[in-house]
Chains A and B, each alone.
Chain A
Amino acid sequence: MLDLFIGNISSAISHEILMISTENKELASRYKKERDNLIVISEKYRHNINPISDILPDKDIEYIKSKVKNKIKSELSSRIKKGYKNINLNIIEELIEKYLRAVKVI
């Protein structure tokens, strides 16, 4: 369950960073319904990870953050290597915080 949770959060953040980096970001963000689905699915998984009603222990938070960060970096780095420009890797940590807070992990 934890792996699925990490997979979804990583995918949602990679998607957001790629979206911000396109010249058509206004258009890319227009139809939010499908993208919000990833958050809804992540929330479902979160409800199966203990402690359900409290934030996770520091050790687990660090583990999740590091796994999510690696997954996002790998997804985006392959594109940067191919020549993608304007992908801002500096916002990864800020977005991880935002998303984990949204699904009450931290």
Chain B
Amino acid sequence: MVIERRWKKWVYFYIPLTLFVIGTLFPFYWMLITSIRPDAELYRSWRAANNTPFWTLAPTLEHFRDLMAKTTFPQWLWNTFFIACASTAISLFCGLLAGYALGRLKFPLAGTIGTSIFVTYLVPPTLLFIPLANIIRTFQLGDTPWALILTYPTFLIPFCTWLLMGYFKTIPKELEECARIDGATRFGAMVRIIFPIAVPGILSAGIFAFTLSWNEFIYALVFLSSPEKKTVPVGVVSELIRGDIYFWGQLMAGALLGSIPVALVYSFFVEYYVTGLTGSVKG
């Protein structure tokens, strides 16, 4: 243990940490306060004497109520969840197979294919979405969740592949060889031995993919149009900004509610997430 003096601990550790926590979490506190503040307080002048920006004496749940009852917000939550799960599943599937192939198999063009998968990550979405709109039209997927479920993997797969590739590289070859000596096929060894060991990496990639899908905006903005099909980010932006008034109360309520599912997923898996990344960065 490296010994250090008490004052040093305070200056170098506790104070910076506290500042980080405050800086990181203040906007969330702000979102919470705004979402339970009654409208009259929200639009008071900033110079008003009774301005209390940091707390409210008359908390109200009306914004949450209005959000759930008067908009199709619950539908958006479901849509986003469904799309995120489906695209994560597809990306993990592809990423798993591709990561194994690139990380453990020797074959010609391995380097080239690996690099080109990575290069697709560089193509900006703003370039793609008009041509993609044409493809979506050809397949008649416009205004359905499938338009997103098939396009989200385009930016999820490269990352999942990279993560899992790194993970697979750290697994010693002996494991597979032992299994094959015992009579397993290469394919069987892959599925029954290697994949289970990579579960932390899979979870980690999955969480990351889920977050990115949940977060995605521009494709959802362009490909979905019916209000009940929208995802949370698009729905909140396009329908809670009503004309002359931003319904800040409802907006913040929507922001909080819209983050809860992802936060829940993280709270269960954050340890795996860190472990998963640890495994892959070692490689």
Do A and B come from the same complex?
Answer: no
